Chain A
Amino acid sequence: MPVVTIVNQKGGVGKTTVALGLAEAAAAAGVRVLVVDLDPQGNATSGLGVWDVDAGVERALDSGRPGALRDVVVRSAWSVDSSPVVPDVAPSTPALATREVQLATDPIGAQDRLQAAAADLDYDLVLVDCPPSLGLLTVNGLFAADHAVVVTTPAAWAADGVEQILRTVERVSVRRGGQLGAPSVVVNNLGRTRDARYWLEEMGKRYGERVWPPVHQRTAIAEASAQSLPLRSLGTRPGAPEAASEFEILFRHLTSPEDQWRTTLNASMSVAG
């Protein structure tokens, strides 16, 4: 069960957008996908059409029991055309913010609570949507991950943020004996300005092949989020098929056979296909 963590301590760069876009692409490919919403703001939860949450991720983190995440998982309200598979979600509530503070003095283990809670889940792919901070929730997301995807926007301050988060990922990887590996970088919300083009090229110069194809700025993406719908539900709304196609390309990058976890995901996909 590969776990991919979507991360950046900078807010507003589109972590949730990319997480949901990848979830949609995965579901459309017949992959059983779980979205873990680690952001107390709960945008991934509401974006997947889940509004009334009885128990959120914080309860699974509280429990400390292996596999505790299973108890809080609910089916999303999405339906993706031409696919029998719908993403599931481990939802978030504002109480998660309180839990993060408690984690700091946790006598059991501050950083691998999520890893334990996600043990033995029966999914082909788990996407973890992190909060915009470098706190213990993000650290938990990275300790549970097989791969990290850093989402950013093509702008100067966002480029500074990428430097910081890559360092964080590297330090977590060292702590995990190199299991995490080099993260990927996704440039989201790419507009048509020369400044945006400049920073996209700059990311390419700095991080080379780690930079995946960008996601362009499209109104359809914002409309899908606002309506808690997958992009494919917008039908032929201008920009929606194009945006969905860009997330499919990103999903294909996730499944490029380079690492052990990708091989596992590919094997699940061939069974699903």
Chain B
Amino acid sequence: MAYDPQRKHERRRVTEEDGPAPVDELLGESPAAGNGERASTTPTDPSASAERAASPPEPAAEPFFVEETVEFDSGPDRRLLVVGFTLLVIAILLLSRRRRRRRADEAA
């Protein structure tokens, strides 16, 4: 099986749903991504920082949801093992049944 450290847990990727980038928090006045407008180069206003500190904290952004793929049960190698094991159990049951019949026949 190929080495894949992300088989059980895929690494979390950054998306816009994560909320403002730290650099936007730092500089303020975040322009919309991709609008091509040059943003104001005024520095972070200290009074604005103080206002932000005084205001109640904004609700946290919705957590980024990563749908986990349950590779443990659905991997092709696991499936092969399960099928193989089932066949083995059936074969053992059939053989023991056959042996029991033979012994019964011999006893008769």
Contacts and interface: CB of A to CB of B under 8 A. Distances in A.
Interface in B1-16: 3-6, 11-14
Interface string A103-140: 01111111110000000000000000000001110010
B22 A134 contact: yes
Interface in B27-45: 27, 30-39, 41-44
Interface in A77-118: 104-112
B43 A109 contact: yes
A178 B31 CA distance: 12
A177 B3 contact: no
A156 B14 contact: no
Given A111-B27, A167-B21, A104 B44 contact: yes
The main secondary structure of chain B at its interface with chain A is loop
B75 interface: no
Interface residues of B, number: 30
Given A110-B44, A160-B11, A160-B12, A177 B37 contact: yes
A175 B38 contact: yes
B46 interface: yes
Contacts of A217: none
A110 B21 contact: no
A159 interface: yes
B26 interface: yes
**Contact residues on A (Cβ < 8 Å of other chain), bracket:** 20 to 34
B23 interface: yes
Interface of B: 3-6, 11-14, 21-24, 26-27, 30-39, 41-44, 46, 49
Contact of B30 (A167, A168, A171, A202): A171
Nearest to B34: A174
Interface of A: 104-112, 134-136, 139, 156, 159-160, 163-164, 166-168, 170-172, 174-178, 194-195, 198, 202
Contacts of A168: 21-23
Contacts of A164: 14, 22
Q: Which of the listed residues B26, B37, B39 has the most CB atoms from chain A within 10 Å of its own CB?
A: B26
Given A111-B41, A177-B38, A198 B27 contact: no
